[in-house]
Structures are given as C-alpha cells and as structure tokens.
Structure 1
Amino acid sequence: MKSLPSADRTGPAPGRTVAVVACAAQFMVVLDTTIVNVALPSMRADLGLGAGGQQWVVNAYLLTFAGFLMLGGRAADLFGRRRMFTAGLVVFTAASLLGGLATGGGLLIAARTLQGLGAAFLAPAPLALINATYHDIQARTKAIAAWGATATAAGSCGILLGGVLTDTLGWRWVLFVNVPIGVVLVAVALAALPAFPGRARGRALDAPGAVLVTAALACASYGLSELETRPIAAPLTGGILAVAVLLLAAFLVVEARSAQPLMPLRIFRSRALVLGNTAALVIGAVTTSVMFFVTLYLQRVLGYTPLRAGLAMLPLTLAIAVASLLVRRLVQAMGPRVPLVLGWLLTAGGLLWQSRFTPGGSFTTDILGPGILLGLGLGAVVLPMTTAATSSVGAEDAGLASALMNTARQMGGGLGLAVLSAVAATSTGAAALTHGYARALLVAAALALLAGALALFMPRPAAAAAPAGRESGRRPVPAHAEPAE
C-alpha cells in the first residue's frame, strides 16, 4: 500500500498548490454561469439562434450543473477526489473547445450541456481536497476564505470578462478562454495534487438515487426557469414542478432504505450543515438576483454598454473578495455564527440602499456606495457559510457536503431569480423598470434578514467543529494516513 509523498503530507508547497488549483477551478466553473450572458446577441446573430435557443445556451449549463452535482460529490468520495476532479476538468475543457468551434445552435447547446456535466464532477472535489489537505485549522480557514472569495467574485467577473472578450476577440472566446486554463490545471492536478483514495471497495454508486435526484433537480431547475414567462398554474410549469417534488420524495425514500445511499440522510443530523446550506440557498438567491437586476438597471435605465456595466460592477466584486479574506480571523476566533449574522445585516443594508436608486441615478450614490456595502456583507457570509456547511462532517462525506452546498447555492440562484423576476415584472419605461427592480431588491433584503435570524441558531464553535464521525463516537480517519489512488 503506497503512502503519499512526504511533501504531500507535511510540506507547505502542496497545500498552496491545492488552494491555487481549487480557486482556479472554482473561478472557471462559476465564471461560466455568467460569462455567456453578454455574448448572447452575437451568438444569436452568428448561429441563427431564436429566443428559445438563447435561453438554452444559459439553461443547458445551469440545469446539467445543478442536476448532477450530487452525483459528482458522491463519486468524488467513492472513486477519489483527484481522479474525479481531473476527469471533470477534462470533460469541461473539451466541451469548452467544442462550444467555441460550434457551427450551429444545436452543437453549441450540446457543448454547454457537456460543460455542465463536467462542472458537476469538477466542482465538489476542490473543497473536499482543501478540507483533507489542511490539518491546521488556521491554514484551512485561510484556504477556504480564498476559495469562497473566488467563487463569489467569479459570477460578477464573468459579466466584465464576457464583455471584454466579445468586444475584442468575438463571442467564441468566452468559451475558448477555458481551454488553456483547463489544460494547465489538468497538468498541475496530475503532477502535484495529493492523491486521496476513494472508498469504493465493496461499494457501488447508488444508481437509483443518482437518477432520481438528478431528475428531480433538473425538473425543478427547468420549472423555475419557466416561471418568468409562464405562471405556476400553467400545465407545463406546474406539472414539471409537481414531478420534481414527487421525484425528490421518491429519492428520500430510496435513500432511507438503501444500504449504500448516494446521500446518507444521517448527514442532516448536523445543525451546522443544515444552517450552512440554508445560508447557501439565500446567498445564491441574493447574489444572482443582484447581478441580474443591477446589470439591467445600468443598461436599460442608465444606458450603459455591456462593457461599461461590467466595469461598474467591479467595486462590488472587489468588496466581496476583500471581505471574504478579512473575515477569516473572526471565524477562527468566534466560529461561524457571529460573522454570519453581521454579514447578513450588512447585506440587507446594502440591498435597502440599492433599492433606492432612481431613473436619473448616478454611479456614485446608486451603484458605488451600495455596491461596496453589499459586497462587504456578501463576502463576510461566504467563509462562515462554507465552514458550517462542510467542516462538520466526517472525511467520508467531505465530497458530498461540498456538493450539497454547491447544489443549494445553484438552486437558490434559480429559485431566487425566478421569484424576484416575478416580483419585478412591470411595464416598459425607465420609471416602471426602476420601480420593479427596487421591489425585487427589497424582497432580497427581507431574505437576508431572515437568513441572519436563522444564523443565530448556529451551534457554538466547539460543537460545529466536531466532525460527524466524532459525534457518533468514531474517530475520523486522518487524511494523511490514507493510501494514494
């Protein structure tokens, strides 16, 4: 039985390598949720896409990503985190190349679907690798802070980068940009990442559970995406959402009875995990909706170009990154509860300020000020949310916990945007549009305050930090004692 090289166990360099690779991979995955948005008009003109085709260039990625995340997280635990990370990265990179070379709308949508599949297997592994590699709590918290800042900032960076690439090199480069990054990451992952084994010996992947949860989340995502154009009472929308509920109920029944479940229901005994994933739902809803409505306000009301709108979002992005890095000391000293409450209060304050913008607003008072306050709040939430959602489980469930958090965040984004778009629905005209966006942001502020109230029930640091295995009387297996893949 081979052991890890000593550098992978104790040297500082592999730890930095894991953090850098995790941040780069997460940036690439989250970036692709927004980078194509500004390029859609150019894609439509070049490939002859209709309105439905435009929508599916975005939704094909999001639906597949959200639907397969649970399967990707469990596969990382069973078959090895580095192995699944590399496999997902190869699929994602190849799909990006295929999409950039697409000669028709159907091929582009197929490539985006394949991208989502690769992202679902790629995304859960980096955070699990961080938790397994860093045994020192301060080093682990610092790495998670950098990962969280990257994940939160990537969505808004996609708007800016998409505008720059589309204006200078053409729409195909919003996909081609992933190829060199992916090739480098594959090489680094194979050469330098620690090889933690899977736990698949004598165990099979829960195929029925995987099919049911993937179908449930895909139906839910599709049904929610239709709410913007069809009421929930419409046969298509209501029917698909009803099917999603039935599939989810069937999934829970299967998992409760399975000897080797995809998602062991015991994981939800951790109050920190449940509240952390609740925070992930809300931060997904708030972040996605803010990016959407503020960008529309800048372009449709103030008349900004896509590139100028992307630049205007930079203060928000930078504030998120700065707060994510600064809050780590507070989390180390006090645990996740206090930073979560403070972060949600700042977020609610920023949303309330942002909701006061006017049709004749200015960048300084209507975008810059509230954007910085909002960014500080969102950034302060990311690390304690991630810590609560992933650090309170045993080593055998690390990939699953990471996938749960990512799924909650993606589903929160879809649900939040669908609901708040319905709240904002209004007639045309600058005044009406601004009023609708303001209503949506006020509802988002209420969600932030609710999340802050729930964060008061977060367990104390000692309880939150105890892995699930320790709570049940089992000693967790040290990551450095595991053999290589």
Structure 2
Amino acid sequence: LGAAAAAPAALGMLTTAFPEGPRRVRALGVWSAVNAAGGALGVMAGGLLTEYVDWRWVMLVNLPIVAAALALVLAGVPAGGLPDRRERPDVLGAVLATGGVGLLVLGVVRTDTRGWGSPATVATLAAAAALLAAFAYAESRASAPLLRLGLLRSRWVAGANVLVFLAAAGQFAAFYFMSLYMQQVLGMGAAATGTAFLPFSVSLVAGTVIATRVTATRTPRAALVPGALLAAAGLAWCACISPHGGFLADVLGPCAITGVGVGLVLAPVAAAATTGVASREAGMASGLFNSSRQLGGCVGLAALATIAALRTGPATDPAALNAGYALSLAVSAGLFVVAAVVAIVVLPRHRAAAPPAPRPAATAVPAENRLEGTPS
C-alpha cells in the first residue's frame, strides 16, 4: 500500500514539473537510472545480509532508508495547497480493481498444483474477469474515477502500458530464475549471487543513459524497439544455461546484454506512458503505469514459475531444475519480442504536435487553471 502510494506520486511529480519534451525525457532518464542503481545496491546488500547477518535484516534495513527518504521529502518537496474542489474518493473502483487483480494473480499462482483447466482455476479467473469488467463499467460512470477510460484511447498510453506489462514479466522472471540457477545449479551462495547481479545493473544504467540521449531527440519508439530486441537476445542466451555451466558464459555475458536492453526500455517506456497526458491527469497516468509494471511482474512470474515447475516435475536434481529454468527464460525472451512488436505496431512514429497557444483575451482563463487536451 505504501509503495502503491509513493511510486506514482514520484513519477507524477516529474511529469508535472517538467514539460513534455527533452527536459522530461532527461528527468525520466535520471529517475530510471536511480531505480536501476537502487536495484543493484538492493540485490547485493540483500545477498550480503542474508549470508553474513540474518535474512530478517533484508526487511529491517529499510527503516533507516525510509527515514532518510522521508526527511528529504519533507525538506525538498513543496506541500502544495488543497484543491479548490474536493472530490469523493472512488472507493467502489478501488475495491473492484483490487479484488479483480488479486483473484487474477491467485488463479495464476495456483495453476502449478491445480492445473489451468481445474474448476477452482476456471472459477477464480472467471471471477477476476467479472470484477475487472465491473471496474471498467464503474469507472465509465464515476464522477472522479481512479482511471478515466478515455485515457486509454491514446496510443502512447495504451501501448506503453502493454509494453511495460510484458517487459516487467520478462525482467522479473529473469531475475528470479537466474538467482535460482546460480544457487541451486551452480552452487553459489547468497552473497555471491547478489554480487553477481552487479554487472547486470551497471549495464542497465548504461542502457538507460543511452536511451535518454536517443529519446531526447527522437520518439521513445526509437529506443524501445532495439532495447526490447536486445533484451530478448540476452535472455535467449540465458536460456542456454547448462547444469555444468560457468559464471562467465552462462551469467555474466547474457546478463550484461540483457541489462543494456532493459535499460534501453525503462526510460522511454515511462516517457511514452505520459506523452500527451494533461498535467491534471499525470498522477492517474503514473498510477496506471506503475500498476501495469507491478501486475506484469506478478502475473508473469507466477505463470513462468508454473511453466518451470511443469518442465521440472518432481525431480530436484540440478539437470531437472536447469531444464525448468531454461524453458522459462526462453519464454521471457519471447515476451520481449512481443514487446518489440507492440512498440512497432501500436506506438506512433512521431510525437503529436502540441496544441496551439490560445489567443490572449480579457476573459481568458489563467494558464495554471486551464485543462490541457490530450491528442487523439
């Protein structure tokens, strides 16, 4: 709940503070690079704490981090005033969305033991579909919806959210299965596994820097397509892991390529998700983007873990585990290929032209109170 409130607020602040164009792209590039650097430090610190201290410190270490972040927010982020018109929160939409997504994840997670065709799985997924359909209907009639459905008519917004769903599914699963491969097959400890992800994170930051420069002068699509294909190539190499593999050939090389590809996707997809969005809906678009990313990682990991378990079967030897991990990594590569296709087919080739500035008039509405339009 806390992350769900904080993450969209942070992204919404950036899209509101920086106008659409090169400045926003650079800001989102820094945001993505900091995300990647934080991920690198977190994975390494988690491995070190687990092996040399206690796994509970993976949770406890967040307390001083949050205290420092809270102090920075209080010192550096303006509080702002209350809106002129207070709107009632969309409680019904929140309940329907949470229930629908929760049942969707539950239905997918249990397929490794109940099967896709079991009555329990079918009933759970059907109930999830019904709640999500009810959510869409409720949002179309709400006076202050959590998600204005018209926002999805923008090819930038719709395409970026589908793309980040697929990319998150592939990326989260790759982290998970490569961690298991290093520990369960190669026999590496938690600290060594965490440190082994540093090259991936460094290359991810490098890819983010490159993507920021490309997107500043061209559209997000110019970095998204090659980035998704490069990530797919790296994961396809990861899928070639073997029970008798080594760190250099089976981990370092493919993870470095995957990291650059994922980095090329991170900043442009965030920029695409907020392209053409009015400033008053920046928080809504940011919340949708973060939800798509988290849902992609959650559903994708659940589905790919099921695929790995089905390939592995009851065996627990390194060869059987390797076969399951390799299959899921291959599917992760396929997800990035689909993401590249989405970027090519759905995302526009050019940014929409900005609406012309209004002519000055005695009765003109002040610029800060005017509602921005979204391009078709």
Q: What residue identity is the alignment partner of 2:265?
A: V
**Residue 322 of structure 1 pairs with residue 206 of structure 2:** yes
Q: Pick from 391, 395, 401 the counterpart of residue 275 of structure 2.
A: 391
Q: What residue identity is the alignment partner of 2:326?
A: A
1:447 — aligned with what?
Answer: 335
Q: What residue identity is the alignment partner of 2:222?
A: V
Q: What residue identity is the alignment partner of 2:328?
A: A
Query: Distance between the aligned counterparts of 2:129 and 2:285, measured in 1?
Result: 22
1:404 — aligned with what?
Answer: 288
**Residue 129 of structure 1 pairs with residue 17 of structure 2:** no
For residues 262-301 of structure 1, the aligned pairs below 5 Å read: 262-301=146-185
Structure 1 position 211, deviation (Å): 1.4
Q: What residue identity is the alignment partner of 1:273?
A: V
Distance change >3 Å, CA 151–CA 226, structure 1 → 2: farther
Q: What residue identity is the alignment partner of 1:163?
A: G
Structure 1 position 284, deviation (Å): 0.9
Distance change >3 Å, CA 153–CA 223, structure 1 → 2: farther
SS at match of 1:232: coil
Query: Distance between the aligned counterparts of 1:403 and 1:152, measured in 2?
Result: 20
Indicate conservation of the 8 Å contact 1:421/1:440, yes or no. Answer: yes
For residues 183-202 of structure 1, the aligned pairs below 5 Å read: 183-197=67-81, 199=83, 201-202=85-86
Q: What residue identity is the alignment partner of 1:444?
A: S
**Residue 224 of structure 1 pairs with residue 108 of structure 2:** yes
Q: Pick from 37, 50, 53 the counterpart of residue 169 of structure 1.
A: 53
Query: Distance between the aligned counterparts of 2:256 and 2:224, measured in 1?
Result: 18
Report Cα offsets for 1:275-318 as digits up to 9, x if no partner: 10011101110111101111111111110011111111111111
Q: What residue identity is the alignment partner of 1:344?
A: A
Query: Distance between the aligned counterparts of 2:7 and 2:31, measured in 1?
Result: 12
Q: Pick from 308, 311, 321 the counterpart of residue 433 of structure 1.
A: 321
1:206 — aligned with what?
Answer: 90
Structure 1 position 455, deviation (Å): 0.6
Query: Distance between the aligned counterparts of 2:354 and 2:342, measured in 1?
Result: 21
Distance change >3 Å, CA 390–CA 196, structure 1 → 2: farther
In structure 1, the gaps of 5 or more residues are 1-116
Q: What residue identity is the alignment partner of 2:275?
A: S
Report Cα offsets for 1:178-222 as digits up to 9, x if no partner: 222222222221222133446471421112112111221222223
Distance change >3 Å, CA 248–CA 315, structure 1 → 2: same
**Residue 261 of structure 1 pairs with residue 145 of structure 2:** yes
In structure 2, the gaps of 5 or more residues are 359-363, 372-376
Distance change >3 Å, CA 176–CA 335, structure 1 → 2: same
**Residue 459 of structure 1 pairs with residue 343 of structure 2:** no
**Residue 361 of structure 1 pairs with residue 245 of structure 2:** yes
Indicate conservation of the 8 Å contact 1:394/1:476, yes or no. Answer: no
TM-score (norm 2): 0.88
Indicate conservation of the 8 Å contact 2:239/2:329, yes or no. Answer: yes
Distance change >3 Å, CA 200–CA 322, structure 1 → 2: farther
Query: Distance between the aligned counterparts of 1:346 and 1:200, measured in 2?
Result: 48
1:375 — aligned with what?
Answer: 259
- By relative contact order (CA 8 Å, sep 6+), the higher-ranking structure is 2
Query: Distance between the aligned counterparts of 1:153 and 1:240, measured in 2?
Result: 38
Overall identity of the aligned pairs, in % = 39
Q: What residue identity is the alignment partner of 1:203?
A: E
Distance change >3 Å, CA 197–CA 391, structure 1 → 2: farther
Moved more, 123-132 or 194-203: 194-203
Indicate conservation of the 8 Å contact 1:395/1:476, yes or no. Answer: no
Query: Distance between the aligned counterparts of 2:241 and 2:66, measured in 1?
Result: 40
Indicate conservation of the 8 Å contact 2:228/2:262, yes or no. Answer: yes
Report Cα offsets for 1:133-163 as digits up to 9, x if no partner: 2247333222211212333454554332212
For residues 3-152 of structure 1, the aligned pairs below 5 Å read: 117-135=1-19, 137-152=21-36
Moved more, 422-431 or 326-335: 422-431
Query: Distance between the aligned counterparts of 2:263 and 2:169, measured in 1?
Result: 15
Structure 1 position 478, deviation (Å): 4.8
Query: Distance between the aligned counterparts of 1:478 and 1:143, measured in 2?
Result: 22
Aligned residue pairs, count: 359
Query: Distance between the aligned counterparts of 1:152 and 1:212, measured in 2?
Result: 32
Report Cα offsets for 1:57-99 as digits up to 9, x if no partner: xxxxxxxxxxxxxxxxxxxxxxxxxxxxxxxxxxxxxxxxxxx
Query: Distance between the aligned counterparts of 1:120 and 1:449, measured in 2?
Result: 28
